Chains A and B, each alone.
Chain A
Amino acid sequence: MDLQVRDKGYLVVGGTAGMGLAGARVLAADGASIVVVGRDQERADRAAAELVAAGAAKAKGLAFDVSIEGQAALAVKGAVDFLGRLDGIAVTTGTKGQMPIESTDDEWIAAFRDLLLGVSRSVEAALPHLIETRGTVVTTAAFSVRSPELVRLPYASLKGAVALFTKGVAKAYGKHGVRANCIAPGAIETDSLHAMRQQVADARGWPYETALERVMTDEWGMHVALARPGKPEEVGDLMAFLLSPRAGYLTGALVNIDGGTDF
């Protein structure tokens, strides 16, 4: 099924690695134009080159940290300048807050900026452009917004806010033809988790193939029906589908992609 994204322009904030890059790759394969934003320019350049090789009509990497005041608006402006339009934005940033509730105000505020404000500011800056194209928004929360874990309650709380924010955007901007959906991933074996698999296997002498799975069940208390972490490509496929016109009537949905975690 062709995603019908040729002649369309997408911005993936957090798209220089992991799930965001995986989603951008799927859009690229069907000929979209893409801007990826990450904190590191070199990495962003590499991602853009990879997307062009994968089939993107054109691609560019920009270095911004959307958790810093004003940077989300600059990222969106840079994307629109390059693409000439904006048909969709995905925001996959936000990793802080994996800490106890007793964390300091400064730590909570840093998590808030990273997890919620980076998303809301990026989407806010994109909305005027999305209204023009009847475009679409995809944000990323976490499976734990439906099944909060005590060990990282600040993270789950702020990801929950991302889900609620996205639902609100869907309701408020639907009349302009703008769609907004939220993905809730489970444990996904991105570079950092992949590195952890090796570290744990080495440090504890566990078999490499099941080291991460064991950490997930024994230490994180995650019960995954598929009994494995997800792959970034698997999340990327869902993200690209939601960003595409194929999902034209799907808005305000919160979709877990977690292999059936904590049933």
Chain B
Amino acid sequence: MDYGISGRVAIVSGGSRGIGRAIATTFAHEGAKVVIASRTLSNLEETLAELEEIAPGRVHGIAASMTDPESVARVVAESRDRFGPISIAISNVIGHVIDAAKEGSGPGAGTFEGMGTEAYREEFTQLLISSWALARACVPDMQQQGWGRICNIGSGVAREPSTNLPHLLPNVVRAPVAGMHRLMAARLASDGITVNNILTGSILTERNRSYWVWLARERNITVAEATQDMTNRIPLGRFGEPSEMAALVAFLCSDRARMVTGQSIPVGGGGSAHL
């Protein structure tokens, strides 16, 4: 199946690790010109070296915050200067960083009574402002080409807020992000731009592993037991690989998926409870 994105310029935020890295790798294999942006330079360099082997001369990395609109605009401008107009934008910014040491008390975790205004603002900036800023900066290029793909790496909690996890804020903020993408899909369809949202479920990332460490400590069980408990909740009986998420994202960003827009699609091995 030819995805028809050879030569297209793609920006992947959070592209140096986990799901973002897998998406960037898939795009590189499909012949796209790929820009990855990430805050941490060391992660970026390692991933870039790997991508460069797949796609010599077709990859570029920028160390930048993808939550600050001005910084996002700079990333988009630099990408355009390097490779030409942007055709594909993947927003992949996680909310509060799950840290085994802080989970349960850090940003994002807590109760309605306990969360302060600043924490809410920060989470909206991380999740909503980041994806809005990236889309806004890329849409003019897409409109000019009459072709564009926007895909947000969201979370299953947008549709089914998780009540058995300690983090409150992603549960709150992921839903408006999904809503915004649906609205963008309606508004941008006539420009040849599709907009979709992934409801990420149980994907095997460093982030999930650190969550299991926290969970094990919290429940006074071993990490293996915590991992097994989480795995038991997934109908397919296993966690997914980042590459399995990337395959769908690449399809949605292909020329072939031009009729699929405004969708929120779960990738979680059947872990989403609702239809």
Chain A positions within 8 Å of B, measured between CB atoms, are 1-3, 26, 29-30, 163-164, 167, 170-175, 177, 179, 186, 225-227, 230-231, 234-235, 237-238, 240-241, 246-260, 263
**Across the interface, which residues of A come within 8 angstroms of B260, CB to CB?**
238, 255-257
12 residue pairs from A and B, CB less than 8 Å apart: A1-B29, A1-B247, A179-B236, A231-B259, A234-B257, A247-B244, A248-B244, A249-B268, A256-B263, A257-B259, A257-B260, A258-B259
Residue of B nearest to A173 (CB): B235
**Across the interface, which residues of A come within 8 angstroms of B43, CB to CB?**
none
Q: Beyond the given A238-B251, A263-B185, could you list 19 further A-B residue pairs with CB under 8 A, ordered by the A residue number?
A: A1-B3, A1-B26, A3-B1, A171-B270, A234-B256, A234-B257, A234-B258, A237-B251, A241-B247, A241-B248, A241-B251, A250-B248, A250-B265, A251-B236, A252-B270, A253-B266, A255-B260, A256-B262, A257-B259
**Across the interface, which residues of A come within 8 angstroms of B272, CB to CB?**
252-253
**Across the interface, which residues of B come within 8 angstroms of A249, CB to CB?**
203, 236, 240-241, 244-245, 267-269
**Across the interface, which residues of A come within 8 angstroms of B251, CB to CB?**
1, 237-238, 241, 246
**Across the interface, which residues of A come within 8 angstroms of B234, CB to CB?**
174
A263 touching B262 by the CB < 8 A rule? yes
* CB-CB nearest 6 A-B residue pairs: A174-B235, A225-B189, A249-B240, A249-B244, A263-B186, A252-B270
Query: In the complex, A167 Cα to B275 Cα: how many Å?
Result: 6
Query: In the complex, A185 Cα to B52 Cα: how many Å?
Result: 39
CB distance from B263 to the nearest CB of A (A): 6
Residue of B nearest to A184 (CB): B263
**Across the interface, which residues of A come within 8 angstroms of B267, CB to CB?**
249-250, 253
B256 touching A225 by the CB < 8 A rule? no
CB distance from A107 to the nearest CB of B (A): 26
Q: Does B237 contact A (CB under 8 A)?
A: yes
B265 touching A253 by the CB < 8 A rule? yes
Q: Does B250 contact A (CB under 8 A)?
A: yes
**Across the interface, which residues of A come within 8 angstroms of B248, CB to CB?**
241, 247, 250
A251 touching B269 by the CB < 8 A rule? yes
Residue of B nearest to A246 (CB): B247
B245 touching A251 by the CB < 8 A rule? no
**Across the interface, which residues of A come within 8 angstroms of B185, CB to CB?**
225, 260, 263
Chain B positions within 8 Å of A, measured between CB atoms, are 1, 3, 26, 29-30, 182-183, 185-186, 189-190, 203, 234-237, 240-241, 244-245, 247-248, 250-251, 256-263, 265-272, 275
Total inter-chain residue pairs, C-beta < 8 Å:
126
Given contacts A1-B29, A240-B1, is CB(A252)–CB(B259) below 8 Å?
no
Residue of B nearest to A175 (CB): B237
B261 touching A259 by the CB < 8 A rule? yes
Residue of A nearest to B274 (CB): A167
A230 touching B190 by the CB < 8 A rule? no
**Across the interface, which residues of B come within 8 angstroms of A173, CB to CB?**
235
B186 touching A260 by the CB < 8 A rule? yes
B1 touching A241 by the CB < 8 A rule? yes
CB distance from B269 to the nearest CB of A (A): 5
Which of A174, A240, A251 counts the most B-chain CB atoms under 10 A from its CB?
A251
CB distance from A182 to the nearest CB of B (A): 9
**Across the interface, which residues of A come within 8 angstroms of B263, CB to CB?**
255-256
CB distance from A131 to the nearest CB of B (A): 13
**Across the interface, which residues of A come within 8 angstroms of B237, CB to CB?**
174-175, 177
B270 touching A235 by the CB < 8 A rule? no
**Across the interface, which residues of B come within 8 angstroms of A170, CB to CB?**
235, 270
Query: In the complex, A261 Cα to B185 Cα: how many Å?
Result: 11
Contact for A1 among B1, B266, B275, CB less than 8 A: B1
Which of A2, A240, A253, A260 counts the most B-chain CB atoms under 10 A from its CB?
A260
CB distance from B243 to the nearest CB of A (A): 9
B182 touching A263 by the CB < 8 A rule? yes
CB distance from B97 to the nearest CB of A (A): 24
**Across the interface, which residues of A come within 8 angstroms of B269, CB to CB?**
174, 249, 251
Residue of B nearest to A229 (CB): B259
**Across the interface, which residues of B come within 8 angstroms of A238, CB to CB?**
251, 257, 260
